[in-house]
């Protein structure tokens, strides 16, 4: 597909990397020549210097024949107008990043009038992801499928965990009361593994499991993981993520405190969030954190604009004994280091945005849109993908036992959802038309279930 990305910042660059890897034809548009020169050295893409709203710039970028335009500049207004201009010139589909809460109430009107087909708000999505992480303090990250009925989460096995030393196929006989969840993937050192029944779990493994919410909650209780609720949260930084997150947490009746260094922004937050406690100060100052009772909070979330500040403050809170610490980080090369030092719950706006846009592009590029990806998450820095599909009535593999299907060796059919009921499938189970199927695959490029299941029965 021919895709134009307007805005060559961190998010735009990351999206371009993903799309180029999937062999799409990408053009980058930005007003900064320096940014385009940096991208030219690392991306196999066409570079166009100019304003993404300008007709001549978009014509040079090929908007009149483009399949998709993705506007992710720092300005919501430019993103919306760029989409309108590109659509008027002939671009088939328009995606805009719109982050300002002021636009939320009129979003449907703006999308209709400005010809925006899809809106992404990374800060709001990140806030929703963080709120899910707070339900399971021991887990790293949590993703949802099947309209929230299925959760996929990761946790690290410690030396004394009851699962260590056992093969997956033996867990049912060794612990009959253990609720059945699907072990989707294992990260062992630098290796990403799609596990089979004979895989033996080891200390240090980062394990990804999936199931419905009641089952997965009971599973963790059975293996001795703490699923108690978080009641009080301290947030460092008062940006958009903090606003969206605090709004969600207050609705969940949690105690929320925000530390913001900018006086004007702190006053705005205090007015917008009257139920929250907003403190003016430097949230990276350890003395301030101590004076505000850091150790008495159940969770500490670092959302400042600097990765290093987030990491150091998060590490301090972790060592101080705060039960759940979540840090915002935009650098992929920090991920392994963060895990090694005990900061496993990390939120990245680039990854959030990339996942959503990549899913949307795959849906648009699939020959049969109905069979395309419904939801997509990239795990282990993109080495593994978890995807949701709706099984179609003419799929050649319906009503055939899973054990008889020719499923890719590096893939698992993790969960089936039928009539609202979630099931971790066995070999005798069959897929039926209308099922929501969650599939985990090592590698990328999957657009439909047929890319995972080759034909009918083997």
Q: What is the C-alpha separation between 125 and 72, in angstroms, rounded?
A: 15
Q: What is the pTM of this model?
A: 0.73
- Give domain limits for the chain: 2-120, 126-130+228-347, 367-457
- The pLDDT-based confidence of 139 (bands split at 50, 70, 90) is confident
pLDDT score of 20: 92
Average pLDDT, the chain: 88
Task: Name the CATH topology of 126-130+228-347.
Answer: Rossmann fold (3.40.50)
- The pLDDT-based confidence of 4 (bands split at 50, 70, 90) is very high
Residues 175-201 have pLDDT tens digits of 888 888 889 999 998 889 999 889 999
Considering the domain delimited by 2-120, tell me its CATH architecture: 3-Layer(aba) Sandwich (3.40)
> Contacts for 335-339 with beta carbons within 8 Å, 24 or more apart?
335/381, 338/311, 339/156, 339/206
Q: Is the pLDDT of residue 382 over 90?
A: no
The DSSP letter of residue 178 is: S
Q: Is the pLDDT of residue 260 over 60?
A: yes
pLDDT score of 208: 93
**Helix ranges (DSSP H) in 135-191:** 171-174
Among 122-136, 198-212, 337-351, the least confident range: 337-351
Same fold, 126-130+228-347 and 367-457: no
CB atoms inside a 10 Å sphere around CB 245:
28
Q: What is the C-alpha separation between 44 and 276, in angstroms, rounded?
A: 47
pLDDT score of 302: 96
Task: Name the CATH topology of 367-457.
Answer: Alpha-Beta Plaits (3.30.70)
Residues 289-310 have pLDDT tens digits of 999 999 999 999 999 989 899 9
Q: Give the chain's end-to-end CA distance (angstroms, integer).
A: 33
Q: How is residue 136 written in tokens?
A: 């399971």
pLDDT score of 426: 83
Share of the chain above pLDDT 90, in %: 47
Beta strands in 52-179 (DSSP E): 68-71, 93-97, 118-120, 142-145, 150-156
Q: What is the C-alpha separation between 204 and 344, in angstroms, rounded?
A: 12
Among 182-191, 264-273, 333-342, the least confident range: 333-342
Q: Is the pLDDT of residue 409 over 70?
A: yes
Q: How is residue 116 written in tokens?
A: 């925006």
DSSP character string of 376-401? EEEEGGGTEEEEEEEPPTT-TTTTSB
CB atoms inside a 10 Å sphere around CB 445:
11
Residues 206-253 have pLDDT tens digits of 999 998 888 888 888 888 876 667 899 999 999 999 999 999 999 988
């Amino acid at each position: 597909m021919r895709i134009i990305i307007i805005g060559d910042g961190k998010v735009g660059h990351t999206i371009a990397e993903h799309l180029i890897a999937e062999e799409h034809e990408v053009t980058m548009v930005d007003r900064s020549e320096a940014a385009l020169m940096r991208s030219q050295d690392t991306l196999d893409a066409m570079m166009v210097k100019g304003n993404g709203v300008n007709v001549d710039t978009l014509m040079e970028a090929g908007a009149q024949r483009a399949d998709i335009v993705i506007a992710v500049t720092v300005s919501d207004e430019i993103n919306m107008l760029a989409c309108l201009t590109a659509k008027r010139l002939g671009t088939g589909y328009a995606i805009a990043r719109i982050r300002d809460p002021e636009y939320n109430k009129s979003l449907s009107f703006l999308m209709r009038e400005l010809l925006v087909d899809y809106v992404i708000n990374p800060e709001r999505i990140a806030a929703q992801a963080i709120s899910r992480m707070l339900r399971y303090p021991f887990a790293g990250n949590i993703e949802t499928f099947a309209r929230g009925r299925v959760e996929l989460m990761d946790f690290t096995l410690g030396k004394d965990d009851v699962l260590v030393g056992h093969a997956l196929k033996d867990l049912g006989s060794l612990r009959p009361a253990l609720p059945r969840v699907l072990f989707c993937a294992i990260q062992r050192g630098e290796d990403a593994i799609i596990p089979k029944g004979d895989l033996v779990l080891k200390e240090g493994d980062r394990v990804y499991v999936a199931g419905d919410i009641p089952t997965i909650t009971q599973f963790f209780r059975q293996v001795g993981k703490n699923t108690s609720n978080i009641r009080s949260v301290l947030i460092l930084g008062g940006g958009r993520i903090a606003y969206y997150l605090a709004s969600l947490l207050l609705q969940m009746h949690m105690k929320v405190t925000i530390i913001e260094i900018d006086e004007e922004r702190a006053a705005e937050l205090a007015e917008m969030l009257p139920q929250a406690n907003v403190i003016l100060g430097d949230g990276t100052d350890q003395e301030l954190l101590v004076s505000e009772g850091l150790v008495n909070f159940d969770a500490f979330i670092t959302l400042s604009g600097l990765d290093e500040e987030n990491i150091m403050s998060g590490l301090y809170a972790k060592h101080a004994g705060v039960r759940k610490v979540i840090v915002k980080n935009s650098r992929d090369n920090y991920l392994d280091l963060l895990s090694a030092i005990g900061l496993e719950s990390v939120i990245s706006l680039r990854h959030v945005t990339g996942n959503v846009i990549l899913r949307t592009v795959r849906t648009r590029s699939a020959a049969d849109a109905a069979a395309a990806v419904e939801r997509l998450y990239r795990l282990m820095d993109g080495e593994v993908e978890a995807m949701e599909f709706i099984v179609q009535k003419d799929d050649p593999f319906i009503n055939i036992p899973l054990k008889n299907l020719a499923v890719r060796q590096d893939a698992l059919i993790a969960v089936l959802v039928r009539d609202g009921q979630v099931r971790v499938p066995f070999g005798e189970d069959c897929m039926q038309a209308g099922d929501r199927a969650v599939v985990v695959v090592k590698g990328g490029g999957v657009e439909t279930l047929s890319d995972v299941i080759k034909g009918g029965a083997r």
